[in-house]
Structure 1
């Protein structure tokens, strides 16, 4: 039995499963199906197989997928700890399991004891962290795994390293703001795009202030990723893991901003749900790419360290 092949298969199954959970969670929120099973958990309206309604079907399907993916992730975790020699793989699978259980617990509490929008927004954030960890785990068993463990020979400054990790943390804040917009049902606070209600700076009240804050935060994320790529291209060679991750992060954030505009323009139309799911898909890919970029910087050599080591010693 080729254990490496099974590790790869289960890791990819966990990643795909977590990605599906993200999309289904967004579908539950957008269709307002969170109460589709009443206040029962894990049963749905007191039944193992609930009566057919669109809301109960969406909510119960989401719960079912979470349960199946959790089992797959548990099997993956056992395989990794028993057979993998990669310490980072054990960290990734442990992180994925922790945040998967945390988001499942938060989801159950949201059903039994309705939570505030601020707490509900964390549910998507925890699911996104679970996906990021499973993505990193899956990448360990691909051609990118070597760069994640030993680097690809790229030398970057300490300042770039710190900037990358700072951007990753900031992107999580942007994600949280987006989830907060959904859970407060504030999407209609800004009509039109790129202007908000026909104004460059609208009146900052109610839903408008929530949506406009998210727009500003997303625009700033796009700006800093543009600046990061311009710096990275001077320190990393084209084709290196660091260069490619920075490039794709920039591409994805541009697509993410445009998809945000698509969501706004689709309000009131049949295509709105599709636009919302596309928005979720892109932010998941962007956060995953930024996570890979951040891990990659840990395996690079700082230019300052190399220069210090290479400098002639004074007698």
Structure 2
């Protein structure tokens, strides 16, 4: 187990986990969350379901792939502690990834056992979905940092970041808020599908509408505000932390913000079809990953004297790490 190959496992684990997240959204969007009944970890009382329905196959596939993702993150943790010395940030990132993967499984199990699936439209389900979304983003963030550090990124320094830290912290919190309101809006779209855009807008502003529909208007409002903020903050951070890496990530952040706004508008106009919900979620995950990497790069420790070394030594070390 070497450091040179660790990043490939970290990249695989992250990519596979993103696939599991998207399939989980497909489970919710198709109303297949009750495909295995209220049983967990078994499916309708069986390890492998017999004569499964379409909903059961969809839900069982999500559980099976979640198990594979869990094993990949566990392997990542073991590899990190074998290949990297004590105190290395990769160890911390791998440990955080494992922690959030465990809580992710626990939240998913709770949703199934409490039957907050399928057509349940309770406030409790909305709350559990918000918790699930936040934990998922924290999991993806930890795995993204693990990959970033495995690729040679410097350790993050939280103290003394001043305005830069405040700008980035507010941006990260804002994206989480957008994600939570998006999860609630997606639940409303699934449970109370509208036949037309006019009907959907009428649902949003009707005083007699279900609370999920009344809350749905929060998502575009919060998304627009956070999007404008990110477009401003990423430029301000890049100006305070000038480097080619920070500049590239700042540009990527801005591009993804604009792309996500466009996807959100298209999702609204198309009345949130399942495929568009998945595209919207994927872009949200990619924006979160780029923003987390942007924050890590902007708040990283300055190059140590050891980075100097003889001519060409730093490049050689980076090539070996890759």
TM range, smaller chain = 0.7 to 0.9
| Alignment partners' CA distance in 1, 2:301 and 2:213 | 43
Quote the offset at 1:230 in angstroms: 3.4
Residues 227-236 or 201-210, more deviating: 201-210
TM-score (norm 1): 0.82
**Residue 149 of structure 2 corresponds to which residue in structure 1?**
140
Matched, 1:45 2:44: yes
- 1:23–1:277 CA contact under 8 A, matched in 2: yes
| Alignment partners' CA distance in 2, 1:138 and 1:19 | 14
| Alignment partners' CA distance in 2, 1:255 and 1:94 | 32
| Alignment partners' CA distance in 2, 1:111 and 1:168 | 29
Distance 1:233-1:94 versus aligned 2 partners, 3 A rule? closer
- 1:100–1:130 CA contact under 8 A, matched in 2: yes
- 2:156–2:299 CA contact under 8 A, matched in 1: no
Matched, 1:149 2:155: yes
**Residue 4 of structure 1 corresponds to which residue in structure 2?**
3
Q: How many residues align?
A: 287
Quote the offset at 1:278 in angstroms: 0.3
Residues 116-125 or 12-21, more deviating: 116-125
- Give CA deviations for 1:226-262 in whole Å, capped at 9, x if unaligned: 111332353344x622222222112111111211122
Instruction: List structure 1 segments (4+ residues) > 6 angstroms apart after TM superposition.
Output: none
| Residue of structure 2 aligned with 1:209, choices 190, 206, 214 | 214
- 1:28–1:58 CA contact under 8 A, matched in 2: yes
Distance 1:291-1:229 versus aligned 2 partners, 3 A rule? closer
| Residue of structure 2 aligned with 1:159, choices 150, 160, 163 | 163
Matched, 1:176 2:175: no
**Residue 61 of structure 1 corresponds to which residue in structure 2?**
61
**Residue 31 of structure 2 corresponds to which residue in structure 1?**
32
Distance 1:4-1:234 versus aligned 2 partners, 3 A rule? closer
**Residue 248 of structure 2 corresponds to which residue in structure 1?**
244
Unaligned ranges ≥5, structure 2:
117-123, 303-322
Quote the offset at 1:141 in angstroms: 2.5
Unaligned ranges ≥5, structure 1:
302-315
| Alignment partners' CA distance in 1, 2:287 and 2:164 | 18
TM-score (norm 2): 0.80
**1:197 counterpart SS class:** helix
| Alignment partners' CA distance in 2, 1:227 and 1:67 | 40
- Give CA deviations for 1:252-277 in whole Å, capped at 9, x if unaligned: 11111211122222227xxx111011
- 2:156–2:296 CA contact under 8 A, matched in 1: no
